[in-house]
């Protein structure tokens, strides 16, 4: 998979908007950066039923509706000011790298 630098800048707790797939246009918070490179879990996005094996918590087993990882390239970071998914730019503040909206310059960190 081609992972460009921009996509790899997404971090947990970022607000993102989905740009592809069945959840296209929906927004959510990044809950987790997946163990697999380039995959992320976004709150409320790509929810599917997962079969739960019977165990102490659910003696009969069953299904749980949980978020499955999606490809990082299918989301863009959401800028509150632009009210849409934007590209991430990098700015330097006191020699520290910060992520900014490429469009309006809003700090995204």
Identify which of residues 66 and 90 has a Cβ nearer to Zn ion in the complex: 90
Does residue 103 touch Zn ion according to CB under 5 A?
A: yes
Q: 3-state DSSP call for residue 90?
A: strand
Report DSSP state, residue 1. -
Q: How far is CA 96 from CA 29, 90, 101, in A?
A: 24, 10, 16
Q: Which stretch binds Zn ion (CB under 5 A): 8-16, 33-41, 46-54, 101-109?
A: 101-109
Report DSSP state, residue 36. S
Does residue 3 touch Zn ion according to CB under 5 A?
A: no
Identify which of residues 12 and 82 has a Cβ nearer to Zn ion in the complex: 82
* CB crowding 1-31: b at 16 or more within 10 Å, else e: eeeeebbebbeeebbbbbeeeebeeebbebe
Identify which of residues 40 and 79 has a Cβ nearer to Zn ion in the complex: 79
Q: How far is the CB of 39 from Zn ion (least distance, A)?
A: 26
Does residue 104 touch Zn ion according to CB under 5 A?
A: yes
Residues of span 64-93 touching Zn ion by CB under 5 A: 79, 81-82
Binding site for Zn ion (CB under 5 A): 79, 81-82, 101, 103-104, 106
């Amino acid at each position: 998979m081609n992972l460009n630098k921009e996509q790899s800048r997404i971090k947990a707790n970022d607000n993102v908007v989905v740009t592809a797939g069945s959840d296209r246009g929906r927004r959510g918070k990044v809950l987790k950066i997946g163990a697999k490179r380039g995959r992320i879990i976004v709150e409320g996005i790509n929810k599917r039923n997962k079969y739960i094996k019977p165990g102490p918590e659910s003696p009969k087993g069953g299904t749980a509706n949980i978020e499955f990882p999606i490809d990082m390239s299918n989301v863009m970071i959401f800028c509150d000011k632009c009210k849409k998914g934007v590209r991430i730019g990098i700015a330097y503040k006191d020699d520290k790298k910060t992520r900014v909206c490429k469009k309006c310059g809003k700090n995204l960190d």
